[in-house]
Structure 1
Amino acid sequence: MNPARPGQRGVGRHTPGATDPSYFHRCPNTAKRALRDHQEHHRPQAPRTPQARRPASAGSTTTARWLSATVCSPSPGVGHEGVLGQRLLDHGEEYFSYALGFAVIGLMWVRHHVFYRGIDHIDTHLTVINLVYLGLIAFLPYPTRILGLYGSQPAAVILYATTIVLVNIVARVNVVHALRAGLLTEAGRREVRRREHWFIVPAVFLASIPIAFASPRAALYCWSLLFILPALQRRLAMR
C-alpha cells in the first residue's frame, strides 16, 4: 500500500479475494474459505439478553438447588440476618443421616476388627465372603445419602434398611464359616459366643421396612431401639 500524503486518502493495491470472480478459478479452496470467513464476520448476531438461558433438566435443577443450599454460603440481605440459621436448621435430616451413617459404619468397623483379631488363619471362602461384606460397606454411603435427601419417602428408608440387613447377614455368614472351618482361635470363639444375639440389629431394620410404607418417620423412630441394644444384649447374656 502506498503511503498517504497529508490531506489525501491512502491508495491500496487490489488484492484478489472474495469479490474477484477470477480468484475462484485460480484458488478455489482458498477462495471458499475466504468467502466463508467474510460471511461469518459480517453475519448479524442476535442480541444477548440475561433471560436467554439453556433450559436445565429436572435432575440438574434439583442438584443445583441442593448444592446452593448446602455448599454455597447464603448471603441474606439487610433485615434477614436469621436466614442463614434457618437454612442450616432446614437440613436436619441430612445431619441425622450423616450421624447415623458414621455411627453404623464405625460400629461395623469395630466389630469386623474384633472378629478378625480372633482369626487364626484364613481360607478362600472366608476371603470371598469378606470381599462381599466390604463391598456392601463401600455401598452404604449411597443409601445414607439418599436417606438424608429423601428421608420423608418410603423408598429411601427401605433402601437403607435393606442394605443394613444385608450387611449383617453377610457378617453372620462370615462368623458361621469361620466357626465351622475351625479358623478361630480360642479367644475368637469366646468373642463370637458373646454375640449370640446378633439378629437384633437386622431384626429392627427388617421390621422398619413395612412400617416405612405407612410412615417413614415412624420407621426412623423405630431405629432408635438400637440405642438400648447393648443393655438388652447384656440382659439376654445373663440368662
Structure 2
Amino acid sequence: MSPSGFGAEAGPAGSDASRPAGVAEPGGADPGNAEPGEAEAGLPAERLLLFTDAVTAISLTLLILPLVDLVPEVAGAHEHAVDVITGHVDKIWSFLLSFAVVARFWLSHHRVFSAVGSLDRALVVGNMGWLLAIVVLPLPTEIVGTFGTERFAAALYYANLLAAMVCQWAMLRVLRSHPEHLAGERSTARRRIADAYVDACGNLVALILAFALALAVPALQYYSLLLLALVPWAESRLRRRNGR
C-alpha cells in the first residue's frame, strides 16, 4: 500500500503521471511555446488541394444556372427556342468568360500546389481567401450579363478577379519565403514557384490596368481582360532573351 494508504502505486520515473503540468516530454516540443503561425505546420497539402478542386468545380457549375433559368422564361413568354441564345448573348458571353477565368485560375493554383508538401496558417488563410473569390464570382458574372455597361457592374467583376489574384500572389510569396513547404526535388520546386510568382506579378499588373480601363471606358466591359493574354507572350519573350 502507498504511504497515504489510499493512492495507486506510483508510476515509473518520467511517466506522464509524475510529470508536472505544462512540462513537455524529453525531446518533445512544448505546446504552450508553439509559435502563433505554426498551428497548421506540417499538414499535408493533398487534402487542401482536393477540397479546393471540389469547391472550384461547384463554382464552375453554378455559372451555368442563370442560363438554364432562361429556358422557362422564354417559354413562358411564348418566344422561340432560338431566342434563348439570340436574346441573351451578353449573359452567354459573361458565362464563357468567367468559365475561362476560373479555369485559368484553377490551372495555375493546381500547378503551384503540386509542388507543395506541407502547409502553414498563412497558406491556409490565403487559399480560403482565394476560394471565397472563386465562389463569389457567379454573382458579378450575372450582374455584368444583366446590367451590361454600368460602371458598378464592371467594377464589381474586376474587384472580384483582383481579390482572387492577390490571394494567389500572397500564397506564392509565402512559398518563396518558406521553401520548407515544398515537396520533391527542392531546386525544381523552387524554380517552379519562382516562375509562377513572376507570372502572378505580370497578371496582377495587367489586371490592374484592365480594371482602370474598364472604369474609364465602361463600354469596354471586360474586353480589357484581353490584356491578360499578353502576359504569357511577354514572359516567353523575356525568358528567351535571358536564355532560359
TM over 0.5: yes
For structure 2, the residue ranges without an aligned partner over 5 or more in a row are: 1-66
Structure 1 counterpart of 2:108, one-letter code: R
Structure-1-length-normalised TM-score: 0.62
Give the 3 Å change call, closer, same or farther, for CA 68–170 of structure 1 in structure 2. closer
Give yes or no for contact 1:165–1:202 (8 Å, CA) kept in 2.
Answer: yes
Give yes or no for contact 2:149–2:221 (8 Å, CA) kept in 1.
Answer: no
Shift of 1:131: 1.4
Q: Which secondary structure does the structure 2 equivalent of 1:71 belong to?
A: helix
Structure 1 counterpart of 2:72, one-letter code: V
For structure 1, the residue ranges without an aligned partner over 5 or more in a row are: 1-65
1:85 paired residue number: 82
Structure 1 counterpart of 2:199, one-letter code: H
Of structures 1 and 2, the one scoring higher in RCO (CA 8 A, sep 6+) is 2
Give the 3 Å change call, closer, same or farther, for CA 125–223 of structure 1 in structure 2. closer
2:133 paired residue number: 136
Shift of 1:84: 4.5
Task: Give identity over the alignment, percent.
Answer: 22
2:8 paired residue number: none
Alignment partners' CA distance in 2, 1:211 and 1:70 = 34
Alignment partners' CA distance in 2, 1:165 and 1:132 = 12
Tell me the matched-pair count. Answer: 170
Give yes or no for contact 2:175–2:182 (8 Å, CA) kept in 1.
Answer: yes
Alignment partners' CA distance in 2, 1:170 and 1:75 = 43
Give yes or no for contact 1:76–1:84 (8 Å, CA) kept in 2.
Answer: no
Give yes or no for contact 1:157–1:212 (8 Å, CA) kept in 2.
Answer: yes
Alignment partners' CA distance in 2, 1:210 and 1:161 = 9
Structure 1 counterpart of 2:182, one-letter code: L
RMSD across aligned positions (CA) = 2.6
**Does structure 1 residue 99 correspond to structure 2 residue 96?**
yes
**Stretch deviating more after TM superposition (84-93 or 95-104):** 84-93
Structure-2-length-normalised TM-score: 0.61
Shift of 1:223: 1.4
Q: Rg: which structure is higher?
A: 1
Give yes or no for contact 1:126–1:177 (8 Å, CA) kept in 2.
Answer: yes
